[in-house]
Structure 1
Amino acid sequence: MTDPVTIISARTLVFRVPLAKPVSTSFGTMFNRPAVFVRLEDEIGTVGWGEIWCNWPACGADHRARLLTTDLAPRILGRPLPAPPEVWRQLTAATEILVLQTGEVGPYAQVIAGFDMAYWDLTARRAGVPLGKAMAAGATGKVRAYASGIHILDAEQMVAQARIDGYRDFKVKVGFDFDRDLDLLRGLHAKLRPGETLYADANQGFPLDKARVFLQATDNLGLGWMEEPLRVDCPDTVWQELRGSTSTPIAGGENLIGEQAFEAAIKAGSLSVIQPDAAKWGGPSGCLAVARSARAAGRRYCPHFLGAGIGLVASAHILAAAGGDGLLEIDVNPNPLRDAIVPRWPVVREGLVELPAGAGLGVEPDLDQLAPFQTLSLSAEG
């Protein structure tokens, strides 16, 4: 980007899809799937789209939508802006004391991430190039994807369907019933076909002793990785002890916030796979920097994402810009908020997805399709 950009409006839109069956998690029961989209428009009419993480709590989506339009937007509207990475750093620095004052580390990180995503989309559209190419000239046109969001109890049926849909990599959630999960995981592994890989995600569900036993019991399965086997706030010594007890790569990063946290995790070496979520922290600016640091240290960058369509496409572009052998996470559960983008995306063939060819993200939200789920719309003008 060469010419300064002036954002004249920032809008947030909140959507909620009721779940057919409530989902019980370690932190509560989810009754709907929310999404917060960010829409930015510049002085020449270019529009960019982003997404803010808001899975929990239920009221969090509205709070984040208001936070962006009432606090973040006045800081950027109506003035010439530099390139996205510099704006991201400026906003992060400008809100540091406020974050300490309010204790809202996550919400501020997430709204800045959503803004950064939308601003990258806008600037790439102004330049007439895909987002991945705007971030790195050598960005690839395809990335490998894996089927995610698969509960171990539903895994046999969901893996079979994901295979039909073109996936060759499958991640299942474990950590519910120790012995049962082990048996089911072994059964899934036995049915894998050549070229397929199984991954597991414990969502911080194990204490150290159980994590160690579970990993040792599955060492012979050739899992692609075990994700978040421990609480993210466990001391480095605990993570290192676990890493030394298994040959399975350990993955994590979706619940880390801040460059220092990621640099410390990369340096410690316990995580072989680094997984920041671009809607939760960093946006494309922060996540690409983390991806490059991870790859330089011999780690694997695989973006975490479990939201709507805008953030998913952005994650694919970041992965394409980062390069390497990382995988794109795609939740294969029904989700109208993921599917309501035009043109329709993704299509998975032999485990690969081709990135949208248009400028910026290459897609836009289908607001007509999303209209039945919209619950809030807020705007700020400058």
Structure 2
Amino acid sequence: MVQNQPGGAPPDAVADLRIRSVQAFPISFAMPQDRIVRHGIGAAVKRDTVLVKVQTECGVVGWGEAHHGRGPTSIADLINNTLAHFLACRSAAAPVDAWGAVYARHLASHGQGAGTMIALSGIDMALWDARGRYWNTPCHVLMGGERRPVRAYAGGVSLGFQPAETLVEEVAALVAANWRAVKLRFGDGVGRDVPRLQAVRRAFPDLTIMVDANCAYGLADLRRAADALRDCGAEWLEEPFPAHDHRSYAEAKPLMGGVPLAAGENHYGRFEFHRLLEDGSVGIFQPDLSKAGGPSEVLRIAHMAGAWKIPVCPHIATGGLNHAATVHLLSAIDNGGWFEGDASPGNIFRDELCRIEPDADGMVFAPMGAGWGVEVDEALIRAHPVIAGPGFV
């Protein structure tokens, strides 16, 4: 590791951090039958992610995480056989320069397709990590922030469809583990969704409750559920509709009785978030650092949203690299909202990379150390070869 100080880049920093290679590794693990969670997009039968390794000329290595995009081998192939070529002669000293190269040579002419934005996200995250390691500095400092408490809620692939009484038991265990907020799932039919929400609210009058419909609702469903969401004090309703259904979001906002709509995990890049600003229907932005274009682009999105006083509460991906990077970014923006803590049962890619849990006050902190503060043992990659087939059925 090069022990340079941040703030004044030495003349050789660009050369030192010249990108030597970019490699992507798709990995998976199967969920045991007794730990499968079902929500609005199906039952999660396996977990996938794509780890991205950037090696630089001086020997510093940076790691990032790209979302699996429901096709982890395709995302990895896009990185290894296309995007990596655009990064020749670029440097991790300026991740925005590398980002711009991919934009100019691919995105501008072929559109901001989800696959390319997801792949670029993992690369960009790895470049930030390398930069932080070179200067022996945490990424939140490089982003202009400080290590500070961040509010957290229990989310991830958890709290799925189940009888109300067992859902209350699952929430109780999370509350006992210092979670002061949780995200419940809608999309199982209003007649089953609402009673679950009401049961949790009765059991925990002071708990902050978010609700995620996973794009499984229509306007008719929302009209039937809106009063309960308001009466139960839902913090937000997340993605009732697909990302492209702008008209439904616009029609839904007046129905919500003050409960804001949240979206963004399936929006790619600042240009799609600009449309959300223009529409004015979504009150909580949720870009994913492993999907929306990486930390560089999510910083742009956050600053843009800040001008409209819109909080940014990022969606999280599968693994601990994404989780760590998310807390770092939330520590560096002035409109940072909630961190979505991963409460998924048995998430190996969280537990073996970086498990972030709340303190007694329900807060989380960015990991200590250079870059993202996460050490990647490549034995993890060898131990979890990619599994073919869909992750949700």
TM-score, shorter chain, exceeding 0.5: yes
Partner of 1:163: 175
Residue 137 of structure 2 is aligned to residue 123 of structure 1: no
Deviation at 1:293, TM superposition (A): 1.5
Partner of 1:379: none
Q: Secondary structure at the match of 2:255?
A: coil
Percent of aligned positions with the same letter in both sequences? 29
1:181 corresponds to which of 168, 193, 200: 193
Deviations 1:219-261 (A, max 9, x none): 111111110112222234x322211122111100111123221
Q: Is the 8 A contact 2:87 2:101 kept in 1?
A: no
Q: Is the 8 A contact 1:340 1:370 kept in 2?
A: no
Q: Is the 8 A contact 2:159 2:185 kept in 1?
A: yes
Q: Greater shift after overlay, 167-176 or 141-150?
A: 141-150
Deviations 1:290-315 (A, max 9, x none): 11221220111100013111111111
Q: Which runs of structure 2 are paired with 1:33-112 in the superposition (5 Å)?
A: 33-56=47-70, 60-80=71-91, 83-96=94-107, 99-100=110-111, 105-112=113-120
Partner of 2:151: 144
Deviation at 1:371, TM superposition (A): 3.8
Output the CA distance in 2 between the equivalents of 1:78 and 1:313. 28
Matched to 1:109, the amino acid is M
Residue 288 of structure 2 is aligned to residue 287 of structure 1: no
Output the CA distance in 2 between the equivalents of 1:41 and 1:370. 17
Deviations 1:44-68 (A, max 9, x none): 1111110111151xxx111111211
Partner of 2:390: none
Distance 1:20 1:80, change over 3 A: closer
Partner of 2:332: 321
Q: Which runs of 5+ in 1 are unaligned?
A: 377-382
Equivalent residues, number: 365
Deviations 1:94-115 (A, max 9, x none): 1026635xxx811111111110
Q: Secondary structure at the match of 1:330?
A: strand
Q: Is the 8 A contact 2:327 2:365 kept in 1?
A: no
Partner of 1:240: 250
Q: Is the 8 A contact 1:99 1:108 kept in 2?
A: no
Output the CA distance in 2 between the equivalents of 1:48 and 1:226. 36
Partner of 1:204: 215
Q: Is the 8 A contact 2:39 2:161 kept in 1?
A: no
Distance 1:165 1:370, change over 3 A: farther
Q: Secondary structure at the match of 1:50?
A: strand
Task: State the Cα RMSD in Å.
Answer: 2.1
Output the CA distance in 1 between the equivalents of 2:238 and 2:357. 25
Matched to 2:126, the amino acid is A
Q: Is the 8 A contact 1:275 1:304 kept in 2?
A: yes
Matched to 1:88, the amino acid is W
Output the CA distance in 2 between the equivalents of 1:84 and 1:133. 15
Q: Which runs of 5+ in 2 are unaligned?
A: 1-5, 388-393
Output the CA distance in 1 between the equivalents of 2:58 and 2:93. 16
Partner of 1:252: 263
Q: Is the 8 A contact 1:48 1:119 kept in 2?
A: yes
Q: Greater shift after overlay, 297-306 or 323-332?
A: 323-332
Residue 343 of structure 2 is aligned to residue 332 of structure 1: yes
Output the CA distance in 2 between the equivalents of 1:141 and 1:371. 35
Output the CA distance in 2 between the equivalents of 1:29 and 1:167. 24
Matched to 2:365, the amino acid is E
Distance 1:82 1:373, change over 3 A: closer
Q: Secondary structure at the match of 1:365?
A: coil
Q: Greater shift after overlay, 108-117 or 365-374?
A: 365-374
Matched to 2:384, the amino acid is F
Partner of 1:132: 140
Distance 1:17 1:79, change over 3 A: same
